Chain A
Amino acid sequence: MVRLGVVPLEGLNYSGHEPRRLLYTARQHKIGVISVTAILRADTGSSERGVMMANPDAVNIMVLANDYSKIHAAAMLTAVAATYGKPIRIFVSMEALAAFHQNPAISSTIAQGPVAHKIMAVGGSTFIDLFRQAKELGDVTLYACSMVMDLYHWTLSDMVDIFDETLGVAGFLAMVEGETTFTL
């Protein structure tokens, strides 16, 4: 049986990651890939390349460690890379995800080394500030790992309001295949 799905296109910018995000959404709804490809071909502003091939300009970062400094480094890289017009995806998983929880009792469990303490002491921008700036400046998408969210029964409303959606590791790997990906 062929199932025809319709994905609303209004308001989407068909550059950077959007074709891949659209494809991912289609998969979530079990909409055939051929149907999505047809939609993209009908839109002159979209890039089939975004679906079919890796984007050489894209930067992807997996943030996993229970380490404030590594999360801060990811945020700095993201903020600057965003200003170059590079599409950036951040996948936050494992112990790192707790750092983004709205409850300070949870977010404060993240390990803070000497540099993290120094950043806080001088009142420097937090990694949350930097990710927010990056999102304002460019094509930045943050994903919260669905496995960790499920393990702790967290929802996106429990987290700081910078995530675009939850995503599994398989979904992330499918999106970033062939692209530059860092792990912190």
Chain B
Amino acid sequence: MAEDVKVVDARDSYCPGPLMELIKGIRQEPVGTVFEVWSSDAGSGKDIPEWVKRAGQELVSSEQDGTVVKIRVKKIK
């Protein structure tokens, strides 16, 4: 069964907006939730994985889709 993914569409947001949107989601949703952040801010491709590592969450994937980076993060704690 496909895993439910909560999309955080932060394409019009600038640093640190996409990260802050993800953090808001992580605070609101239960453990096990998978988020996919869409960001047109180039820095998010490095900033968000770095935050995920530091915060002890799980980086599922990160891929570039045209001008948008899509980063999947699983809340594990």
- A residues with a Cβ closer than 8 A to B are 76, 79-80, 83-84, 119, 122, 124-125, 130, 133, 137
How many residues on chain B are close to A (CB under 8 Å)?
12
> How far, in Å, is B56 (CB) from chain A's closest CB?
10
* Chain A residues touching B, majority SS: helix
Asked whether B55 lies within 8 Å of A76 as measured between CB atoms, the reply is: no
Q: Which of B13, B16, B54 contacts A79 (CB 8 A)?
A: B16
Residues of A within 8 A of B17 (CB): 124-125
Asked whether B20 lies within 8 Å of A84 as measured between CB atoms, the reply is: no
> How far, in Å, is B69 (CB) from chain A's closest CB?
18
Residues of A within 8 A of B55 (CB): 83-84
Q: Which of A80, A119, A124, A133 contacts B51 (CB 8 A)?
A: A80
Residues of A within 8 A of B16 (CB): 76, 79-80, 130
> How far, in Å, is A86 (CB) from chain B's closest CB?
11
Residues of A within 8 A of B73 (CB): none
Residues of B within 8 A of A83 (CB): 19, 23, 51, 55
B15 interfacial by beta-carbon distance below 8 Å:
yes
Q: Which residue of B lies closest to A123 (CB)?
A: B12
Q: Within the assembled complex, what's the spacing in Å between the Cα atoms of A10 and B21?
A: 32
Residues of B within 8 A of A125 (CB): 13-14, 17, 20
